[in-house]
């Protein structure tokens, strides 16, 4: 993977996180360190997921990865996160009928109240109230993703 594939900001963050993780300064990190490094730059990874990714990119089979492999692993995870965000945003826009960046109760009702969804107004109210975690009467994009996409 070429450094040009990664934005300069991401590349700098990846380099910094790798440097913070190296306990013995041998230019290699473990799966556990990769998970911690991901958290440093806002990427959530499980040990299982990380071990699977490491097995696919680790060239020497040691279970430890060098910086270049770490950069590749983090970049793959960033690309996956970007694709997921784009998918969630496309779904969000189906509900945000007026395009103002939030979903009102009426907008949610307009979609979930259609034939085929089989939702009563009571159920829609319940979903709305559960999704609107800050209680502002609107469902923001982050609230939408957390409630409707990650359950």
Q: For the chain, report the end-to-end CA distance as a whole number of angstroms.
A: 33
CATH top-level class for 3-82? mainly alpha
Q: Report pTM.
A: 0.65
Question: Contact at 8 Å (CB) between 147 and 130?
Answer: yes
What pLDDT score does 3 carry? 41
DSSP 76-137: HHHHHHHHHHHHHHHHHHHH-TT-SSEE-HHHHHHHHTSTTT---HHHHHHHHHHH-TT-SS
Domain with CATH 1.10.238.10 in the chain: 3-82, 96-149
Collect all residues with Cβ–Cβ distance below 8 Å to 50 and sequence separation of at least 6: 31, 34, 35, 38, 73
pLDDT tens over the chain, length 151 residues = 344 455 555 778 888 888 877 766 677 888 888 888 788 777 888 899 888 888 888 777 777 888 888 888 888 888 888 898 899 999 999 999 999 999 999 999 999 988 888 789 999 999 999 999 999 999 999 999 999 876 5
CATH top-level class for 96-149? mainly alpha
What pLDDT score does 150 carry? 65
Collect all residues with Cβ–Cβ distance below 8 Å to 46 and sequence separation of at least 6: 35
């Amino acid at each position: 993977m070429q450094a040009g594939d990664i934005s300069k900001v991401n590349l700098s963050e990846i380099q910094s996180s790798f440097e913070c993780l190296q306990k013995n300064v041998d230019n290699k990190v473990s799966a556990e360190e990769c998970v911690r490094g991901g958290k440093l730059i806002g990427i959530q990874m499980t040990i299982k997921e990380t071990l699977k990714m490491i097995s696919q990119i680790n060239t020497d089979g040691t279970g430890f990865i060098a910086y270049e492999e770490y950069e590749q692993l983090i970049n793959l995870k960033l690309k996956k996160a970007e694709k997921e965000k784009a998918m969630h945003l496309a779904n969000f826009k189906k509900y945000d009928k007026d395009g103002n960046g939030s979903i009102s109760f009426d907008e949610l009702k307009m979609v979930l109240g259609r034939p085929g969804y089989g939702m009563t107004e009571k159920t829609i109210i319940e979903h709305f109230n559960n999704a609107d975690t800050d209680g502002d009467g609107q469902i923001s994009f982050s609230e939408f993703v957390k409630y409707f996409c990650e359950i």
